[in-house]
Structure 1
Amino acid sequence: MEINKTIHYNAIELKHAIESNELVRQKQPVLICNAHITGLAVARGLGREGIPVIALDREDRGLGFASKYVTLRGVCPNPVIAEKAFVQYLLDIGPAFKEKCILIPSMDEWALSLAKYADELSEYYIWPFSAYKTLEQILDKSQLYERAAELNVSVPKYEIINGSNRKTIAEKLSFPMVLKPINKRTFYDEFQEGLFIVKDQSEFEEKTCAAKKAGLDLIAQEFVNVSRDGYVTVVVYMDGNQIVRGTLAGQRLEIYPPKVGTTCLVESIQAPELTERAVSVLKAFSYEGIAECEFIFDENDGEYKLLDINTRPWKWIGLPIDCGVNLPHLLYSYINGEPYSNLNPEIGRKWVYLNDYQKLKASHQGLFEGDVLTKEEWMEIILRRYDDSKLITTAVESLDDPEPTYQQLQNSFAKRSYYCPC
């Protein structure tokens, strides 16, 4: 069957498409935003279960737009710079739904905007994550770390940078030092980086002044000596009754760009103690929804420390899905009154974003020397057997759904490439 991949460039067009789409009329749909690597994985995880997916993005080249598992596509206002226009876009298409549409964000700015206006949107949509205040508290590193300390969950040493402590922070934390933004996405849009690592007072002054000029607040954090296998992430779906429906732990094997980038290779592992810590922090906030909790192992004191929590799906959510823990479907089923759980994921499976992994290794950088993938894993990729693989999940490539790979290729040829910090 030919899939209609029409992109709708305004709310009126998309509203008419929703009204006339048979699948959306027959079954409760999910709306995802944005539609890059994370959104693509969520769409596949739901679409393969027969659930209609509507994808929104701020431009038309997100990889998810090319997926056959996306039923309808719309280009909407960017909530970072036009939040009210984005919300109005949702309100404009809302009357077209036969039943309320479930909202699943892929990035912080989408999550915060949807949570902030959840009451206004509730006539047409279901917001299956925590309230705006809770998301703000978790994403605010100072509040997150304070709550973690109350639960005896270790965190890296940190200081919130302000006018009175700029000159004395180095005495408490020393160099090298990590500078992190309070508002992660706005920071990335400004600097094309997720954080700064500064080696001396001169770099500290340069970077903090640049952030101040951009109106961005920073946290200074100790630079933790992490072994190459010391990056472990726990992912969870916790329902509205604080019942953990699905969980998986992943060891981050490679990051691109090196040290400051995002995961490009990860392996599912067992980490029951860290899972317990992650769940305890989420429960302390009465959290609801899908979350990613990042830990690093500090070689200096032999402790795993909580680094960050993302209050939405994240880049490699395709790994738990392929390990049998389909977090988006667990969420969908709970909302539809058919809750189920899967707490026993497949262990030892890898996920790779080939585009970044190949660039990392071609530059002879990374946490591990040389190629981390085995010949058997590469052969599954080369022979396109990964759709039925027991060894590896690829972020984009799929024989079952090949057009996102073509879209990625075309994006790389464009003068202005699609960019997303996921």
Structure 2
Amino acid sequence: MTTTIHYNASELKEAIVQDADIHKRRPVLICNSHITGLAVARGLGRKGVPIIALDREDRGLAFSSKYVLHRGVCPNPVVAEKAFIQYLLDIGPAFKEKCILLPSMDEWALAMAKYADQLSEYYIWPFSSYETINEILDKSSLYKRANELGVPVPAYERVTESNHKQLPVDLSFPMVLKPINKRAFYDTFQEGLFIANNLKEYEEMTAKAKDAGLDLIAQEFVDVNRDGYVTIVVYMDGEQNLRGALAGQRLEIYPPRSGTTCLVESIEAPELTERAVSVLKAFSYEGIAECEFLYDQKDGEYKLLDINTRPWKWIGLPIHCGVNLPHLLYCAVNEEPYTSLNPKVGVKWVYMNDYKKLKEQKEGLFDGDILSKEEWMEILQHRTDESSLITMAVESNDDPEPAYRQLQNAFSKRSYYCPC
């Protein structure tokens, strides 16, 4: 497959104008274009939806997918938000009908939401307003609303000059130190968060974040067992109707303790689904969301940890299980809504790159290999049919180029980081 990447807006605009296929059906623009973007592109592309992919550099895995028609390298909204919005405005006139925006990381989502009115001439923003998203991402407002609904949450405070010395007393160790700006934090430290086990580490980690100009929140460390990571994922339409939902039990993360999911299994969790939906409805939320819960052994409660207001890393699992959240959103926007609330359970999703490293290092929540021989046989055969017991983040028989791109990224001298 020949992959053309456009490095400025005028090139991309002209390519879209000249492509007759992209004008046959309303297109979707995704960004960023790594693991999450790849799953979204496949979930929509297999339904015949035209996909345009953007990223801040040219090595995102979705750029190599056959389901992406056009690719553009655009300004990074973390450091050049207005330039990124101008890029979208510059290519906007190429679309014959409004293009749907579908971001995969907070920085892209927040920028699009913030400028949704300016973008509305050419684009459809199918998520809640900037104000609502900010409210949900702000732990103080999220946890306050959850408490009002009787949904348990962990203790937390924002780290400030005035409370810096008192926080270790209030929260004790180990303590989770989470960034306000997730992407900037990851770009700086190649980690999603810090875990401070003592006062010395707390002082060192807060000083590192301060030197980098990054704000932190300090959060109670929830003593969770290996079965206690459960996430509810949904699509809520503009009238807060629940159109799709799935519960996933996180089985492994990489790096250990502070990384992102590399193995997850679909399960049944109706009570947690009700809790997640109640919180989202309290914010009148619209869009795809991921609601993370941890089981606290101290008090026997599932505690709401985070809500991500956009697609996330393992969105390929609900898609494979029959709850294609991006397509549910697409159909609702096009006034052809349908509902999918009965996903397959007992199906796993794996990001093999990280899972293999985790097990080679003899680390993880579970000892040894969790996967069965039957699941490994499906992996080795790259099966992608609906009956398979496991789906892979990158490797796919019908779309093999992203796996090759991942190999080339690993072999390159130029580093490539993405927290998704």
Do the aligned residues in 2 keep the contact of 1:237 with 1:327 (CA within 8 Å)? yes
Do the aligned residues in 2 keep the contact of 1:387 with 1:400 (CA within 8 Å)? no
Q: CA deviation at 1:171?
A: 1.8
Do the aligned residues in 1 keep the contact of 2:264 with 2:348 (CA within 8 Å)? yes
Q: SS of 2:169's equivalent?
A: helix
Aligned to 1:267: 265
Amino acid at match of 1:113: A
Q: CA deviation at 1:419?
A: 1.4
1:195 to 2:226 alignment: no
Q: CA deviation at 1:215?
A: 2.0
Aligned to 1:398: 396
Matches of 1:209 and 1:37, distance apart in 2: 32
Aligned to 2:161: 163
Q: SS of 1:405's equivalent?
A: helix
Moved more, 408-417 or 36-45: 408-417
Residue of 4, 19, 41 corresponding to 1:21 = 19
Matches of 2:28 and 2:381, distance apart in 1: 33
Moved more, 301-310 or 168-177: 168-177
Q: CA deviation at 1:211?
A: 1.5
Aligned to 1:249: 247
Q: SS of 1:227's equivalent?
A: coil
Q: SS of 2:317's equivalent?
A: helix
- Total equivalences in the alignment: 420
Amino acid at match of 1:368: F
Superposed, 1:161-240 pairs within 5 Å as 161-240=159-238
Do the aligned residues in 2 keep the contact of 1:237 with 1:245 (CA within 8 Å)? yes
Superposed, 1:301-380 pairs within 5 Å as 301-380=299-378
Matches of 1:152 and 1:407, distance apart in 2: 46
Amino acid at match of 1:210: K
Do the aligned residues in 1 keep the contact of 2:154 with 2:219 (CA within 8 Å)? yes
Q: CA deviation at 1:348?
A: 0.5
Do the aligned residues in 2 keep the contact of 1:141 with 1:182 (CA within 8 Å)? no
1:152 to 2:139 alignment: no
Which TM-score applies when normalising by structure 1? Answer: 0.98
Do the aligned residues in 1 keep the contact of 2:320 with 2:386 (CA within 8 Å)? no
Matches of 2:249 and 2:386, distance apart in 1: 22
Aligned to 1:276: 274
Amino acid at match of 1:123: E
Matches of 2:74 and 2:384, distance apart in 1: 33
Matches of 2:393 and 2:318, distance apart in 1: 12
Matches of 2:386 and 2:345, distance apart in 1: 16
Do the aligned residues in 1 keep the contact of 2:40 with 2:316 (CA within 8 Å)? yes
Q: CA deviation at 1:297?
A: 0.3
Aligned to 1:105: 103
Q: SS of 1:367's equivalent?
A: coil
Do the aligned residues in 2 keep the contact of 1:179 with 1:198 (CA within 8 Å)? yes
Matches of 1:206 and 1:53, distance apart in 2: 44
Residue of 401, 415, 418 corresponding to 1:417 = 415
Matches of 2:24 and 2:272, distance apart in 1: 41
Matches of 1:183 and 1:36, distance apart in 2: 19
Moved over 6 A (4+): none
Matches of 1:260 and 1:181, distance apart in 2: 12
Q: CA deviation at 1:389?
A: 4.2
Amino acid at match of 1:403: E
Matches of 1:382 and 1:217, distance apart in 2: 43
Q: CA deviation at 1:387?
A: 3.8
Residue of 29, 32, 51 corresponding to 1:31 = 29
Matches of 2:382 and 2:295, distance apart in 1: 35
Matches of 2:387 and 2:263, distance apart in 1: 16
Offset from partner CA, 1:264-293 (integer Å, 9 cap, x none) = 000000000000010011111111000000
Matches of 2:140 and 2:218, distance apart in 1: 11
Identity value in percent: 75
Aligned to 2:294: 296
Q: SS of 2:92's equivalent?
A: helix
Instruction: Give me the CA root mean square deviation.
Output: 1.0
Q: Is the alpha carbon distance of 1:374 and 1:386 closer, same or farther for their aligned partners in structure 2, counting shifts above 3 Å?
A: farther
Do the aligned residues in 2 keep the contact of 1:387 with 1:398 (CA within 8 Å)? no
Matches of 1:367 and 1:201, distance apart in 2: 26
